[in-house]
Structure 1
């Protein structure tokens, strides 16, 4: 009986560590977004009129899923269409972010402000970044 109790307690302790680990990663995405993205795309992903596209409720996040890691790493030039509106401003790249940090930003954006898009794995982001020679393997 005592062994069963100890196994149960150990399992609960491991589960609580995993939950805090994933919570911290989710919080990391929010913090990274605030640092690197919110000044242009807005604290609530609302964008800026017809100058900077919104991320909140943006069809682009789903339609261009495979391109998003490279877009963050390399930036964007030229017109894009988000929710039927054309935007044509330069977005700077963030080559200072690791693959892991890009994954956390993307997962934060994919699940915020009414977005309910599929999240990314680090492996998926690294593979997608290989297409633009942008993976750092971290």
Structure 2
């Protein structure tokens, strides 16, 4: 009877691991595509379905030198918006971009990470902590 005890413990451990893996996968799967969804809902109407922008009116975020060079400013730009001249890929743009006060720090992180890795952008992903810290200068962090 003694040799069955380790086997039962192993079986129980495997069962618990499977339950945790399933539960954990469910937690992450709900947010897995959040960045793409947030982009679609908040950005695509101006910046385009594929980040291509709108002629010389709205700058692209696809293959964008601005996205690559302005990492520290992007969280505040999303939170507070911007107005005034901006140069993207050598072209001047001067339109108002509305801010998105309704997004949490983690949503801004997911949105930025989607843009950072889509349409030819190969930039380093953000962490939520980094975005929260970068939002401090514009008093934009909600701590979420």
Query: Can you list the C-alpha shifts for 1:40-96, whole angstroms capped at 9, x where unaligned?
Result: 001111101111111111121121001000000111111111112221111111112
- What is the rounded CA distance, in whole Å, between the counterparts of 2:84 and 2:19 in structure 1? 50
The answer for unaligned runs of 5 or more in structure 1 is: none
Distance 1:84 1:16 in 2: 48
| Bigger relative contact order, structure 1 or 2 (CA pairs below 8 A, ≥6 apart) | 1
The count of residues paired between Structure 1 and Structure 2 equals: 138
Contact 1:26 1:108 in 2 (8 A): no
Structure 2 gaps, min length 5: 1-6
Are residues 1:91 and 2:104 paired?
no
TM-score by length of 1: 0.89
SS of equivalent to 1:106: helix
Number of the residue aligned with 2:122: 116
User: Which structure is larger by alpha-carbon Rg, 1 or 2?
Assistant: 2
Change (3 A) 1:132 1:8: same
1:136 aligns with 2:142: yes
Of 91-100 and 21-30, the range deviating more from structure 2:
21-30
Pick the aligned partner of 1:18 from 5, 17, 24: 24
